[in-house]
Structure 1
Amino acid sequence: MTKISRYILVNLLGWKIKSEFPNIKKSIIIFAPHTSYWDGFYGKIYLMQLGINYKFLSKKEFFKFPLNYFFKIYGSIPVSKTKEYIDYVAELINISNELHIVLSPEGQLAKTIRWKKGYYYMAVRATVPIVVGYIDYKKKEIGIKKVIYNPTDISIVRKEIAQLYADVTAKYPENFSPELKV
């Protein structure tokens, strides 16, 4: 499936894959910008071609019949906006031999000025790195910007992430605001 996914993404859809996925077994993968449902489609194909074990975090509202079947097949698990959910995700990671949790820290498709912080707390609780993934529609490339191996200070991490996304163009740029407000 990895070769087919890569062929679809690169040869049929014309995307460039930038950088290799790091040799790590567990992580929190943030994937931005997220301004369109197309981001999830391209992101899914990108992740499939990597050959890693991953789960998407998706709004729990999407898990109603009949969409719940689609999201489960897609590899999603429902998100609950509670502190216990951070512990739940950390435990999922800790009991797995290999698992990467993928989420969009913007939390929605509409413009936000401050990203959700759950990704940071999940990574800290599970003691895993944060993989900074991206999709750039202007350059038509998708990949990994950086791995933050030791996220110890949320302010520093958020500023670094904002800098990493500063040159990335969303499908709908007017809806993308990298983590500028900390």
Structure 2
Amino acid sequence: MQKPLEFPITPAVLHQPRGWVWRAIGRVYLRLAGWRIEGTFPAEPKFVTIVAPHTSNWDFALGVAVVFALELRVSWLGKHSLFQTPLRRFFFWLGGIPVDRRAAHGVVDACVKAFEGAPARLLALAPEGTRKGVSQWKSGFYRIAIAADVPIWPVGFDFRDHVVRLMPVFRPTGDLEADLPHIQALFNGVHGLRERAGRGTRA
């Protein structure tokens, strides 16, 4: 008999019940696909979550399953074009925030204000910025964390071992060049669905 999956306890401030059906969908998906979740949530009520590596659209499906399974209140940034489709209501319901990459000047300020106006917030970002192969990470997540004075929570989607890795928080010092190598090193051994070489940073 297969051992039931164990799930970390979602903090009350980040708990968003959506009904047992959605919770069951998330947990059944993870079970059937062979995924497990390892680690715990940060003690802090506010943090920037970076999810990596991002190599496939299946990353989004896995993320949704985790959100449903844990009944998690989450905010995330997505291309504005996603919110112009018939699924726009669903994306907003999931906590999506549309971003026009052609006019991204105010994104950091908007995210900081969102943190200031909420007692708790989990803002999830893909530091690579795209599922296409890139040699450098974008630094937007770091600038948001510094400006909002919140820690960074690294979460790895390891498709080789089918593990969602909830890692300890990283507290940025303000020195981007010094901190980024340490943050990226946390994802060593975390394998995306499509492997690719070279990870650095870019603004």
The alignment's TM-score, normalised by the length of structure 2, stands at 0.80
1:124 is matched with which residue? 146
Question: What is the aligned counterpart of 1:61 among 44, 69, 81?
Answer: 81
What is the CA deviation profile of residues 135-179 of structure 1, one whole-angstrom value per residue up to 9, with x for unaligned ones?
Answer: 0011110022231124421112210122111211110003x6433
For structure 1, list consecutive stretches of 5 or more residues without a partner in the other structure: none
Following superposition, the deviation at residue 114 of structure 1 comes to 1.0
Q: Does 1:49 align with 2:69?
A: yes
Unaligned runs of 5+ in 2: 1-19
Residue 56 of structure 2 is aligned to residue 33 of structure 1: no
Moved over 6 A (4+): none
Distance in 2 (CA, whole Å) between partners of 1:42 and 1:145 is 17
Q: RMSD between aligned alpha carbons?
A: 2.2
Mapped contact 1:31–1:103 kept (Cα < 8 A): yes
Structure with higher helix content:
1
SS of equivalent residue, structure 1 residue 83: coil
Task: State the TM-score, normalizing by the size of structure 1.
Answer: 0.88
2:200 is aligned with 1:179: yes
The range that moved more, 85-94 or 72-81, is: 72-81
Identity of aligned residues (%): 27
Contact persistence 1:129–1:151 (CA under 8 A): no
- Helix, strand or coil at the partner of 2:34: coil
| Counterpart residue identity of residue 140, structure 1 | H
Contact 1:90 1:122 in 2 (8 A): yes
Matched ranges for 1:56-95 at <5 A: 56-81=76-101, 82-95=104-117
CA 1:127–1:5: 2 relative to 1, 3 Å:
farther
Query: Which is higher, the Rg of structure 1 or of structure 2?
Result: 2
